[in-house]
């Protein structure tokens, strides 16, 4: 490869060194390909005129065409093969190279394109220096190279599209190909000018109509404006009257306030004089009240001491009564013990009598047989039966408790399954309404799961369970609708089996996907979510929902749900910073989805955002794991309940048997006990009575001793009573003098109260006049206060009506205006009513009429000026159109006449007729101008327009080739490429066309021509200026650097001699 590249440099230098090169500016000098389509390494050196690229199908002829297109900044889509540039790299390689060397004086231009498979991107170089795509396109455009123009570059897969070009498209392609740069520019300017002219004409018509309507409206408004101004004068006068009225009202109230203030001050002086006259009587009454207070204090102290002594006397009396009660209780206790002893003696006698009677009865009874061993045996057997019954009862209770618990748990599971089934039923009904085929497939899958080797999952919209319904919209916006209703398989073979059954046999339209062989469900995100909290992100998509393992693995692999974060409004507010700092490719905010792409050329981040649509499928979720677990638990509980019922039946049967045996033993025991029970009962009774007799004899009471103890206690109590009586007499002596003092104090209080009443009655006569004066003073003071407050309020209202600030002086304009108005309230009210009546006559008017009138007047003026400017602009456009049209048509007609001459000449040489003319529907519709090709291949037919449907395939091919040949002689583009256009021609036409191509393309200083074909006819006419490039390919090909024509010729001569 290095040798080939060096050889290319040598050719490049030699071409540069020629002063009169046969190559035209922009012609291709060299094509180098490495790991490109079918080529590992290949270098092509085309000639300056006709280059016939010849080779069998599949050897790589069209690969050279692809290299020319892609190497000169062409788009993969233009070739009609694939859309991704990475697919042009040879299979198994990661990088491919295309290098095109273009002729230019004094130094050729080498354009290199490196294609990378992994990133599906390209890197550009110009003369071995890095460059951008834009720079490459500018260089190619400067050389008039147009690989997207079918008139210049016609690849194999685009041959049929040439005849499908409309007249307009053919005209533009021809202008770009052979016309001068000004011609296509004039055409574009004419279309733009005409579009602007139409817009301006429509705009002027609309604005003129609007202007006339606005003038009519203004005329209607003018009369209303005059009436409004007259109404405004009345309203202003009313406003001024309403401003003066509170000031007049304030002045009236202020005068009333001054009068009330003077009256109050006069009454205040009279009140002071009356108070001075009442002062002596007041002093005497106060002295009497002081004496009464002193006597009252002494009376309260005396009464308190009397109460204290009386309380002590009562306590002593209560104590004496208590001592009497104690003596009575002692006597009562002695009497009770005396009665108790008498009763004891009676009980002893009766007990002894009963014992004697029972003893006599016992002596008469015969001695019974010994039945105790039989009873003990029955007791032992009953005890064993009882223990077994207790054990069985315990077992029954345990089993019943366990059964109750199991039934309660079963009811809970059934209720929960009912809830889950309702939710699942709703989701299935939703799916059934939208995708009936998918629902039918689900029903089939549930009945035929045994036909699959590995796990199968129902559509994702049923399997995915969102943890919070608010997050459903993120999942549905992220996963496509087709995948939401797709079945998920772990095995490719299972998926194919399912699809064959559904699509081929049942004719259902369903989707299915296969989870990756290596699970991606546990893939870790590119960074922990904690690092993104500062941007408002709170979770990745994967953490917002649950899904079966195959579904989650597919979503992580296909949609990278483990690495797409979800944010809040905070994320939306700082989205530019998030894009710059995080390098995330996808993200969600509260209501939007953002997708960020990085340009392959400028490396700039390009972001797009879309509003999230509302969730439709995942708003309700069912936990399938929980449902499966509940169903398993229900089955286990049913089995457990059956087992418990069987065990209970066995225990109940055993209980009945034991109960029957227990009854039989008890009857036997009862019979034995009745035989030996009478004697034992009598012996037991006698023993009990002997115990009772001994107890009674032990409980004897000593009455003499008890009597002496009672007398001692009574003597002690009597001594205490004597002390209490002495203390009581002493207290009575103390209370007598206190009662005498109490009576004396009561007499003094009576005399002093009478004196006070006498003084108060004398004082009262003078107080009546004083109170009347005080009442009058308070009334006048209250009136004065009310008038003051009213003055303040009226002043506030007056200033508010006049819109005066707190410290603002009364304006002089108001003073002047007020002087012309009435000065009394009656006159002001009369004048005000008169003006209001006049103003009310002007109904239906508002300030908006004047505003609208002024606004309309201003808009009319602005619209008039705007319309005048647009009319001037329209005239300018018409002038420009006239000038450009004249230039463009003169160039266009000359070009079409030249094309028609060449085209007609070529058709005449083939004994056919062909014409090219300018087609127009409307002289002013410049975007509809086009080139019309009309052809006639048979003498018996008329000229027909070349269309994709009228002519045969060969006729269309010949017409296309001859049109391109007509352009070839007129065209100054650097080169033209035509790929396998001769395949649809019959031999006669193919030979004629080839001869025309040779004759046209081999003229001096004509454009370079690439003619690609898999075969040629025999005995064709050739030219020395032709270059024939043979393309061979196969496993035994020599490497490029080993290819040597001289060695091959020597070897050929040697072999020829040997055969001779």
Within 10 angstroms of residue 432's Cβ, the number of other Cβ atoms is: 14
Mean pLDDT highest for which of 58-67, 451-460, 884-893? 451-460
In this prediction, residue 836 carries a pLDDT of 66
Residue 106 has pLDDT above 50, yes or no: yes
- Report which of residues 641 and 14 the model is more confident about: 641
Q: Tokens 């799961």 sit at which residue?
A: 449
Cα 387 from Cα 510, distance rounded (Å): 70
Cα 1050 from Cα 1048, distance rounded (Å): 6
Q: Are 473 and 544 in contact (CB under 8 A)?
A: no
Question: Closest by alpha carbon to 669, among 381, 386, 384, 390?
Answer: 381
pLDDT band of residue 164 (cuts 50, 70, 90) is low
pLDDT band of residue 17 (cuts 50, 70, 90) is very low
Question: Closest by alpha carbon to 72, among 107, 102, 117?
Answer: 102
Query: Is the four-CA dihedral 468, 469, 475, 477 of positive or negative sign?
Result: negative
Lowest mean pLDDT, pick from 159-163, 532-536, 875-879: 159-163
Cα 495 from Cα 488, distance rounded (Å): 8
Lowest mean pLDDT, pick from 177-191, 252-266, 522-536: 177-191
Question: Closest by alpha carbon to 1000, among 1030, 973, 971?
Answer: 971
In this prediction, residue 459 carries a pLDDT of 92
Q: Are 882 and 193 in contact (CB under 8 A)?
A: no
Within 10 angstroms of residue 966's Cβ, the number of other Cβ atoms is: 26
pLDDT digits (tens, 9 = 90+) for 495-518: 999 999 998 899 898 999 999 988
pLDDT digits (tens, 9 = 90+) for 581-635: 888 889 999 889 998 887 665 667 778 888 888 888 787 665 666 667 777 888 8
Mean pLDDT highest for which of 47-56, 278-287, 866-875? 47-56
The mean pLDDT of the chain is 78
Helix, strand, coil % in the chain, rounded to nearest 5: 65, 10, 20
pLDDT digits (tens, 9 = 90+) for 838-896: 666 666 556 666 677 777 777 778 778 877 887 787 787 777 777 777 777 777 777 77
Cα 292 from Cα 296, distance rounded (Å): 6
Residue 113 has pLDDT above 80, yes or no: yes
Residue 100, classed as helix, strand or coil, is: strand
Angle at 427 between CA 422 and CA 432, to 5 degrees: 120
State mean pLDDT over 722-728. 80
In this prediction, residue 658 carries a pLDDT of 81
Residue 721 has pLDDT above 70, yes or no: yes
Cα 461 from Cα 476, distance rounded (Å): 9
Cα 544 from Cα 214, distance rounded (Å): 61
Cα 256 from Cα 519, distance rounded (Å): 101
Residue 547 has pLDDT above 90, yes or no: no
Q: Count Cβ neighbours within 10 Å for each residue of 1000-1013 and write b for 16 or more, e otherwise.
A: bbbeeebbbbbbbb
C-alpha torsion angle, residues 814, 815, 817, 820 (rounded to 10): 160
Q: Are 48 and 1008 in contact (CB under 8 A)?
A: yes
Q: Sheet with 511-514: list strands edge to edge.
A: 456-457, 486-489, 511-514
Asked whether the bond before 578 is cis by omega within 30 degrees of 0, the reply is no
pLDDT digits (tens, 9 = 90+) for 395-422: 888 888 888 888 888 888 877 777 666 6
In this prediction, residue 235 carries a pLDDT of 67
Residue % of the chain over a pLDDT of 70: 81
Is the entire prediction scored with pTM above 0.75?
Answer: no
């Amino acid at each position: 490869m290095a040798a080939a590249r060096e050889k290319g440099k040598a050719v490049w230098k030699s071409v540069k060194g020629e002063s009169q090169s046969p190559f035209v500016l922009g012609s291709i000098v060299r094509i180098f390909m490495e790991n490109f389509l079918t080529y590992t390494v290949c270098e092509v050196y085309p000639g300056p005129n006709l280059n016939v690229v010849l080779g069998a199908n599949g050897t790589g002829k069209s690969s050279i065409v692809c290299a020319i297109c892609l190497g000169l900044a062409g788009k993969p889509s233009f070739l009609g093969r694939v859309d991704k540039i990475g697919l042009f790299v040879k299979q198994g390689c990661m990088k491919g190279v295309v290098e095109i060397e273009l002729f230019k004086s004094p130094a050729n231009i080498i354009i290199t394109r490196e294609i990378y498979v992994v990133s599906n991107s390209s890197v550009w170089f110009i003369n071995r220096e890095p460059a951008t795509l834009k720079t490459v396109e500018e260089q190619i455009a400067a050389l008039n190279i147009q690989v997207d123009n079918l008139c210049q570059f016609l690849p194999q897969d685009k041959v049929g599209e040439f005849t499908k070009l409309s007249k307009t498209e053919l005209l533009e392609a021809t202008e770009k190909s052979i016309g001068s740069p000004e011609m296509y520019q004039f055409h574009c300017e004419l279309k733009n000018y005409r579009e602007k002219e139409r817009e301006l004409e429509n705009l002027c018509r609309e604005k003129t109509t609007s202007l006339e309507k606005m003038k009519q409206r203004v005329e209607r408004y003018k009369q209303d404006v005059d009436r409004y101004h007259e109404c405004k004068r009345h309203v202003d006068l009313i406003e001024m009257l309403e401003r003066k009225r509170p000031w007049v009202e304030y002045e009236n109230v202020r005068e009333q306030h001054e009068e009330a203030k003077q009256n109050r001050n006069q009454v205040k002086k009279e009140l002071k004089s009356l108070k001075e006259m009442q002062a002596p009587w007041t002093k005497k009454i106060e002295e009497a009240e002081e004496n009464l207070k002193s006597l009252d204090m002494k009376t309260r102290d005396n009464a308190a001491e009397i109460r204290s002594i009386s309380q002590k006397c009562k306590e002593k009396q209560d104590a004496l009564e208590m001592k009497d009660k104690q003596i009575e209780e002692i006597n009562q206790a002695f009497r009770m013990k005396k009665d108790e002893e008498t009763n004891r003696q009676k009980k002893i006698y009766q007990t002894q009598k009963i014992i004697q009677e029972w003893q006599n009865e016992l002596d008469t009874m015969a001695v019974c047989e010994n039945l105790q061993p039989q009873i003990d045996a029955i007791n032992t057997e009953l005890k064993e039966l009882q223990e077994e019954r207790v054990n069985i009862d315990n077992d029954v209770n345990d089993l019943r408790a366990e059964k109750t618990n199991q039934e309660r748990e079963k009811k809970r599971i059934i209720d929960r399954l009912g809830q889950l089934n309702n939710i699942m039923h709703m989701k299935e009904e939703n799916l059934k309404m939208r995708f009936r085929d998918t629902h039918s497939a689900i029903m089939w899958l549930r009945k035929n799961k045994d036909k699959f080797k590995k796990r199968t999952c129902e559509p994702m919209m049923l399997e995915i369970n969102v943890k919070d319904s608010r997050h459903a919209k993120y999942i549905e916006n992220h996963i496509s609708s087709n995948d939401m209703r797709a079945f998920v398989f772990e095995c490719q073979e299972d998926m194919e089996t399912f699809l064959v059954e559904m699509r081929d046999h049942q004719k259902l339209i369903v989707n299915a996907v296969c989870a990756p062989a290596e699970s991606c469900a546990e893939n870790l995100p590119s960074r922990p979510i904690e690092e993104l909290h500062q941007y408002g992100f709170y979770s990745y998509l994967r953490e917002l929902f649950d899904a079966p393992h195959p579904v989650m693995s597919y979503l992580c692999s296909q949609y990278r749900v483990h690495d797409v974060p979800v944010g809040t409004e905070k994320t939306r507010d700082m989205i530019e910073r998030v894009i710059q700092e995080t390098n995330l490719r996808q993200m969600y905010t509260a209501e939007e989805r953002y997708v960020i792409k990085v340009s392959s050329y400028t490396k700039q981040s390009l972001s797009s955002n879309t509003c999230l649509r509302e969730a439709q499928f995942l708003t309700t979720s069912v936990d399938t794991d929980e449902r499966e677990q509940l169903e398993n638990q229900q089955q286990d509980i049913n089995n457990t309940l059956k087992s418990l019922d069987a065990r209970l039946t066995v225990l109940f049967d055993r209980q009945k048997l034991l109960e029957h045996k227990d009854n039989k033993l008890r009857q036997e025991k009862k019979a034995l006990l009745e035989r030996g029970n009478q004697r034992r009962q009598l012996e037991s009774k006698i023993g009990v009575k002997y115990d009772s007799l001994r107890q009674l004899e032990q409980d004897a009471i000593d009455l003499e001793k008890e009597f002496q103890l009672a007398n001692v206690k009574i003597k002690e109590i009597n001594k205490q009573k004597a002390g209490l009586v002495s203390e009581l007499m002493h207290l009575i002596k103390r209370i007598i003098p206190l009662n005498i003092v109490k009576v004396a104090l009561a007499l003094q209080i009576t005399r002093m109260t009478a004196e006070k009443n006498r003084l108060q009655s004398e004082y009262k006569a003078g107080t009546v006049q004083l109170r009347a004066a005080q009442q009058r003073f308070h009334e006048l003071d209250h009136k004065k206060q009310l008038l003051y407050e009213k003055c303040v309020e009226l002043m506030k209202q007056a200033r508010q009506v006049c819109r005066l600030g707190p410290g603002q002086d009364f304006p002089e304009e108001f003073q002047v205006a007020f002087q012309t108005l009435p000065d009394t309230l009656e006159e002001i009210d009369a004048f005000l009513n008169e003006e209001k009546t006049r103003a009310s006559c002007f109904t239906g008017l508002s300030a908006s009429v004047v505003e609208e009138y002024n606004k309309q007047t201003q808009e009319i003026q602005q619209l008039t000026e705007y319309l005048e400017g647009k009319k001037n602009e329209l005239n300018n456009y018409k002038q420009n159109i006239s000038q450009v049209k004249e230039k463009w048509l003169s160039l266009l007609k000359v070009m079409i006449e030249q094309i028609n001459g060449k085209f007609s000449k070529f058709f005449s040489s083939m004994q056919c007729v062909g014409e090219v003319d300018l087609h127009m529907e409307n002289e002013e519709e410049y975007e509809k101008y086009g080139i019309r090709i009309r052809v006639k291949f048979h003498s018996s037919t008329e000229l027909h327009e070349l269309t994709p449907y009228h002519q045969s395939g060969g006729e269309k091919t010949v017409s296309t080739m001859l049109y391109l040949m007509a352009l070839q002689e007129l065209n100054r583009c650097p080169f033209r490429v035509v790929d396998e256009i001769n395949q649809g021609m019959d031999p006669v036409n193919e030979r004629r066309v080839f001869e025309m191509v040779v004759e046209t393309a081999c003229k001096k200083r004509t454009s370079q021509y690439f003619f690609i074909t898999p075969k040629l006819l025999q005995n064709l006419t050739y030219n020395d200026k032709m270059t024939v490039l043979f393309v061979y390919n196969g496993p035994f090909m020599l490497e490029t650097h080993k290819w040597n024509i001289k060695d091959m010729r020597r070897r050929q001569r040697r072999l020829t001699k040997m055969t001779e």
